[in-house]
């Protein structure tokens, strides 16, 4: 089986230029001449093809509840495989063990990182707590 090294390295997030620099450094440390013939170790500078992520917006944590008795807990499915089953089991647990807790199951629109302003507004208006099944 032939492996496309460039594709494999890109999946791992490693630039082939970085490995080329590592080979040149290793060759010069063994006393071998480098490709350019200058006698010194070559230095390669590579930029990540992933770019620079946007800055993270911080939010303060929600206040901690002393009890869940009489509270409403939203169970939010983000679409991760099996999350709906887990949340249904959690709702059943609350019914059996804490019947005073009201659970509301909702499916979030889109994938985990996508915004769902309508759902967030509903949770903010009606929920005392929220459990999101985000996977892994």
Secondary structure in 3-state letters for the chain: CCCCHHHHHHHHCCCHHHHHHHHHHHHHHCCCCCCCCCCCCCCCCCCCCCCCCCCCCCCCCCCCCCCCCCCEEEEEECCCCCHHHHHHHHHHHHHHHCCCCEEEEEECCCCCCCCCHHHHHHHHHHCCEEEEECCC
* Helices 16-29 + 5-12 axis angle, to 10: 100
Quick one: pLDDT band at residue 124, thresholds 50, 70, 90? very high
Dihedral sign, CA of 6, 9, 14, 18?
Answer: negative
- pTM comes to 0.57
pLDDT score of 49: 81
22/87: higher pLDDT: 87
Q: pLDDT digit string (tens) for 78-114?
A: 988 999 999 999 999 999 999 999 999 999 998 888 9
CA distances from 6 to 11, 12, 43, 48, 51 (A): 9, 10, 20, 14, 18
pLDDT score of 22: 53
For residues 18 and 78, give the distance between their C-alpha atoms in angstroms, rounded to a whole number: 37
87/27: higher pLDDT: 87
């Amino acid at each position: 089986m032939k492996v496309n090294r460039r594709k494999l390295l890109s999946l791992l997030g490693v630039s082939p230029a970085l490995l080329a620099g590592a080979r040149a450094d290793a060759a010069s440390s063994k006393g071998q001449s480098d490709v350019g013939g200058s006698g010194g170790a070559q230095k390669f500078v590579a930029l990540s093809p992933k770019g620079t992520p946007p800055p993270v917006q911080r939010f303060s944590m929600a206040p901690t509840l002393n009890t869940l008795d009489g509270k409403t807990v939203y169970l939010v499915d983000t679409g991760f495989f099996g999350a709906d089953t887990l949340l249904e089991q959690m709702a059943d647990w609350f019914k059996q063990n804490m019947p005073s807790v009201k659970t509301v199951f909702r499916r979030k629109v889109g994938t985990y990182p996508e915004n769902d302003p309508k759902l967030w507004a509903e949770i903010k208006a009606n929920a005392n707590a929220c459990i999101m099944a985000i996977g892994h």
